[in-house]
């Protein structure tokens, strides 16, 4: 049940063009290791990487923390990286930064692996008190606290394939 479209396919594409320019400027003359957090970041990561001029290697990490529309607060590692990140410029791709709990755990883990740099690109950051202390390097859009689906974001593995981001309306 979609309440409304929050971000159209065109709006997303325009912002990805802008983010690609920002990333290319930041990493001029360097190669980055783009790390996607599965499964939600796949659309964001692939569409953004196609716009980059910067040399890129890609790897994925899969964690689980959601059940339905809310975070469980439990972070479960499903699939770790296959690449050693020591000494590499790592750009972590996240679909949405909600409470930031998952991202904090991943940052802690990655920092212990000694990358040359560790930055974060997020399609969405929710404007909520729980994540205000989290500094993100590249943000597509800041949104409210509503639960969103589409463009990689899901509800129990459904709706990822929508080409836009929509606000989910819970059934009454």
CATH of the domain at 90: 3.40.50.2020
Instruction: Say if 152 falls within a structural domain.
Output: no
Instruction: Say if 122 falls within a structural domain.
Output: yes
pLDDT value, residue 170? 78
Give the separation between CA 50 and CA 56, rounded to whole angstroms. Answer: 10
Q: Render pLDDT for 137-156 as a digit per residue (tens, 0 to 9).
A: 999 999 999 999 999 999 99
pLDDT value, residue 81? 96
The domain tally of the chain equals 1
Instruction: Say if 120 falls within a structural domain.
Output: yes
Instruction: Say if 96 falls within a structural domain.
Output: yes
Report residue 132 CA to chain centroid gap. 16
Half-sphere exposure for 149 (CA within 13 Å, toward CB): 20
* Separation in Å, CA 169 to CA 1, 3, 4, 149: 6, 5, 8, 10
Sheet holding 138-143, edge to edge: 70-79, 56-67, 32-38, 89-97, 117-126, 138-143
pLDDT value, residue 71? 56
Instruction: Say if 18 falls within a structural domain.
Output: yes
58 lies in which domain range? 8-146
Neighbouring CB atoms inside 10 A of 52's CB total 17
Instruction: Say if 52 falls within a structural domain.
Output: yes
Query: Mean pLDDT across the chain, nearest whole number?
Result: 93
pLDDT tier at 72 (50, 70, 90 boundaries)? low
Q: Render pLDDT for 23-42 as a digit per residue (tens, 0 to 9).
A: 999 999 999 999 999 999 99
pLDDT tier at 1 (50, 70, 90 boundaries)? confident
Annotated catalytic sites, by residue? 98
Long-range interactions of 153-162: CB distance < 8 A, separation 24+:
153/40, 153/95, 153/96, 153/124, 154/39, 154/40, 155/68, 155/69, 156/68, 160/39, 160/40, 160/43
Write the CB contacts of 68 (distance below 8 Å, at least 6 apart in sequence).
155, 156
For residues 58 and 76, the model is more confident at: 58
Instruction: Say if 83 falls within a structural domain.
Output: yes
pLDDT at 64 > cutoff 90: no
Q: Render pLDDT for 80-98 as a digit per residue (tens, 0 to 9).
A: 999 999 999 999 999 999 9
Instruction: Say if 30 falls within a structural domain.
Output: yes
pLDDT value, residue 83? 94
């Amino acid at each position: 049940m979609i309440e409304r479209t929050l971000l159209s396919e065109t709006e997303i594409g325009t912002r990805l063009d802008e983010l690609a320019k920002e990333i290319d400027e930041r990493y001029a003359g360097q190669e980055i290791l783009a790390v996607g957090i599965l499964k939600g970041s796949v659309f964001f990561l692939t569409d953004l990487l196609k716009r980059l001029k910067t040399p890129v290697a890609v790897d994925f990490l899969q964690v689980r923390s959601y059940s339905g529309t809310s975070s469980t607060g439990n972070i479960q590692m499903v699939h770790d990286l296959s690449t050693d990140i020591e000494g590499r410029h790592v750009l972590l791709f996240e679909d949405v930064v909600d409470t930031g709990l998952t991202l904090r755990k991943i940052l802690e883990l990655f920092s212990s692996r000694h990358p040359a740099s560790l930055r974060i690109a997020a399609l969405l950051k929710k404007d909520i008190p729980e994540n205000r202390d989290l500094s993100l390097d590249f943000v597509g859009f800041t949104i409210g606290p509503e639960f969103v689906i589409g463009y990689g974001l899901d509800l129990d593995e459904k709706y990822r394939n929508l080409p836009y981001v929509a606000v989910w309306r819970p059934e009454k």
